[in-house]
Structure 1
Amino acid sequence: MTGTTATEQLQPHGKNIPRRQCIPILYTKGTHYDVGFDVGRTFAALIKSFLEISVPLNTEYLPLYKTPEGKAVYDATLKSVKESFPQYIRELEGVAHGAGVEFHKLFLLHMDDITPNATNRINGVHPPIGCSTICVNQPDNEILAHTEDALQETLNHFYIVSAHIIESTPQGKHRVSEERFTSLCYAGHLPGYTMGYNHHGLVYSINTLSANTLHSGKTPRHFITRALLSVPNFEQAQKILRDTGVGAADGCSINMTFLKQEGDRLFHNIEMGPAAPGENQSQLNVLTISSGESIVHANKYLRLPIKEVTGPIIDSSVARHEAFDRLGKPKSKEDAVNMLGDQSGKVHTVFRENGGDEFVKTIAVGIFDCRKQTWSLYSDNPKHNEPLFVLPLVLKS
């Protein structure tokens, strides 16, 4: 066998495997549970491997889950999500059953840093970190480009799910009976919290934002962004993000456009913050750009006045924005590729491989071309590599 050493062949599955040029994709159709089961069954090996090596899960979330305080935070959050989005709980149960893994481990992953923060009022040792997005809105270039950055154990532990979900009755607080979408997914995670599109023409990406104070009994961002995959228009997207009646438990930045909108192309960046104390809806700030403008966003609040955590996520975001400033305003797909592949930083780089925050890696890069209606996926630095594949954006007629 060429290209692989004997030592590499003997390494445990999922540990210390070099970057693979591989992004598996699953096409599936059925109810929420059916789709979840198919995902779990198809990617069971990847999901089990990821649960075994996930540092936050095994060193923080599970130990806290076994305490009365941590279990109370878990139970309050699960109860809230079941009331708002029971269909996504069934979908996640399908993943657990299909993969043969415990549901509570998957749900803890979806809670992210909520468990340590809401339990002990401390930020996790290994907080969720990552992602840069660039939106280019020029007459001949309408691009949404995104790096998917994650803790290093996520490398080689992701896949794409293209699903058509049909239920006999409307589901959840937003009364949705049909969804059709394609999304990049971390192993064992629901679709929605990375980058993807739906058949209504929504194209979007997510940047994690880390508020200093999180709350139990609210909606984790993973479930709010999962619900985004159902939206037909910008008005409904804002409604889902606002999550009136409950509100977000944590925060993120959403970059989006709608391919079937009337008039000139518009891109939006929405900063979502946790529901303020005593409030029952997310904090939102919306930035909309028209032709001739651009958006760059990393993992730091730029407009919402929310106290953030300190540490690598902020340091890296500042460094990436400084790199974007040096490279200038993007006006083309080539500019976006050059910026997202940049590794000129001395400590923190945009495309992250072995920088000062080496526990974080860029695991994939996606380029949505809104004019050609394509999604190019890279499993390595786009400055030096061709896309692994290019998917057509299939829209509802």
Structure 2
Amino acid sequence: MSRNRISRVRAKGDAFSIGFALGQASASGFRERALGTEQFRALDARWRGSDYLKTLESAARAAYPRYVREIEGIAAGAGQDFETVFLWNCRADLRLPEDVPSATRVVATGCTSLLIPAEGDGPAIIAHNEDGSAEFLGTCLWVEVKPDEGPAWSSFMIPGMLPGETFGLNEAGLVQTINNIAPNDLQPGVSRQIICRAILDARGLDEVLEILKRMDRASGFHHNLGEAKTRRLASVEAPASGCAVREVASPRAHANHLLSREFYGLNQTITPSSRDRQEAADQMIAEGALAGGAEAVLFDETTPIYKNRQDENSRTLATSVFVLSPDRVEWRVHAAPDERDTLSGTMRVV
């Protein structure tokens, strides 16, 4: 039996019905793993019932009421009150109290992505290590959703979280993988989780870029984006205070800090792990490691790019590879280097 079980869940219907199914499927993981984390307890003590959290909720309801409805469904399906689940989804939009241990602050600062543009008539490739709290090993889901409204989509899901903020794709041929960033520019606005979910409903890359250029975002991510129809790839750094878009013409990697010159003056937290993974991946690409496939870089355990050390809070929860051709996206998810192709499939572009 797999040491890192990834359950496959299907859901369909309206926003609340979808959320309810996903909440049911992730209920035990959320209750037993998320609610007991130091991070959640600290955020709960500081922000529950606060005007700031209510401001984030109001912004989300005004901009994307359907995705708030999905969160309401997740809460109902998981047997939790809405504020608990909404607070969990807004954890990166809220400042942790100063007395919280540094290990708690950096536990979610993982993920490494590769963007490999098409050569000739070949496919483009996006590959990604999803890193997160070690508590979530064996509790995450791969969800396949057919909503009443918008394209069908699939995504990796952390218990209790609105899907989209990890890695996923939709039947319009859009692929998205997400890397955490930690700039010091949080502001009242739409949670980055909601923004990621909105991208799963987009019909094309240009529509995605318009979403990421919104000026009312509460915080942000680095987004790795691909459009199968055109095989375009884009690397987008989108903290709350700006948006830097780079169309990708040669293979590149991204870890967890802002690289664009537009953000040189923005104060950000860069962990030693993020710096090490960025430097190692860049060097491996320059030395031709991608000839052995994206996994040759993402499964590196010397740096490590693949996080598997028992003494670390942050671990690699899954590795994904998306192969983008004009008419389809072929995808595979590895639970571990020795548990490859745990899940795989092909999504036809509609």
Check whether the contact 1:154–1:186 (CA below 8 A) recurs between aligned residues: yes
The aligned counterpart of 1:227 is 198
Matched, 1:131 2:131: no
Deviation at 1:360, TM superposition (A): 0.3
Alignment of 1:240-255 (within 5 A): 240-244=211-215, 247-255=216-224
The aligned counterpart of 2:322 is 368
Q: What's the TM-score once normalised by structure 1's chain length?
A: 0.80
| Identity, % of aligned positions | 24
The aligned counterpart of 2:28 is 45
Distance in 1 separating the partners of 2:25 and 2:93: 29
Change (3 A) 1:286 1:258: same
Distance in 2 separating the partners of 1:122 and 1:242: 32
The aligned counterpart of 1:288 is 247
The aligned counterpart of 1:269 is 235
RMSD of aligned alpha carbons: 2.3
Distance in 2 separating the partners of 1:20 and 1:193: 23
Alignment of 1:25-64 (within 5 A): 25-58=8-41, 60-64=42-46
Q: Deviations over 1:18-76 (max 9, x none)?
A: x7242111111100011001111233222222333322101x1111025xxx7121111
Which of the pair has the greater relative contact order for Cα pairs under 8 Å at 6+ separation?
2
3-state DSSP of counterpart to 1:393: strand
Deviation at 1:122, TM superposition (A): 9.4
Matched, 1:341 2:296: no
Check whether the contact 1:137–1:331 (CA below 8 A) recurs between aligned residues: no
Distance in 2 separating the partners of 1:146 and 1:20: 20
Change (3 A) 1:141 1:106: same
Deviation at 1:257, TM superposition (A): 1.1
Check whether the contact 2:185–2:239 (CA below 8 A) recurs between aligned residues: no
Code of the residue aligned with 1:285 in structure 2: it is A
Distance in 2 separating the partners of 1:337 and 1:344: 14
The aligned counterpart of 2:74 is 95
Check whether the contact 1:254–1:271 (CA below 8 A) recurs between aligned residues: yes
The aligned counterpart of 1:380 is 336
Distance in 2 separating the partners of 1:341 and 1:93: 37
Check whether the contact 2:156–2:164 (CA below 8 A) recurs between aligned residues: yes
Q: Deviations over 1:188-237 (max 9, x none)?
A: 11110010101100011011111123123x11111101100011112110
The aligned counterpart of 1:171 is none
Q: Which runs of 5+ in 2 are unaligned?
A: none
The aligned counterpart of 1:104 is 83
Residue of 307, 325, 335 corresponding to 2:266: 307
Code of the residue aligned with 2:219 in structure 1: it is D
3-state DSSP of counterpart to 1:143: strand
Q: If you compute each CA radius of gyration, which structure gives the higher value, 1 or 2?
A: 1
Deviation at 1:178, TM superposition (A): 2.0
Change (3 A) 1:307 1:154: farther
Distance in 2 separating the partners of 1:319 and 1:20: 27
Code of the residue aligned with 2:232 in structure 1: it is L
Q: What's the TM-score once normalised by structure 2's chain length?
A: 0.90
Deviation at 1:153, TM superposition (A): 1.6
Q: Which runs of 5+ in 1 are unaligned?
A: 4-18, 167-176, 276-282
Change (3 A) 1:240 1:54: same
Q: Using the TM superposition, name which of 300-309 and 185-194 deviates more.
A: 300-309
Deviation at 1:160, TM superposition (A): 1.3
Distance in 2 separating the partners of 1:63 and 1:37: 26
Check whether the contact 1:121–1:213 (CA below 8 A) recurs between aligned residues: no
Distance in 1 separating the partners of 2:29 and 2:98: 31
Check whether the contact 1:158–1:185 (CA below 8 A) recurs between aligned residues: yes
Check whether the contact 1:138–1:332 (CA below 8 A) recurs between aligned residues: no
Check whether the contact 1:192–1:225 (CA below 8 A) recurs between aligned residues: yes
Residue of 241, 255, 278 corresponding to 1:298: 255
Deviation at 1:114, TM superposition (A): 2.7
Check whether the contact 1:57–1:105 (CA below 8 A) recurs between aligned residues: no
Check whether the contact 1:141–1:332 (CA below 8 A) recurs between aligned residues: no
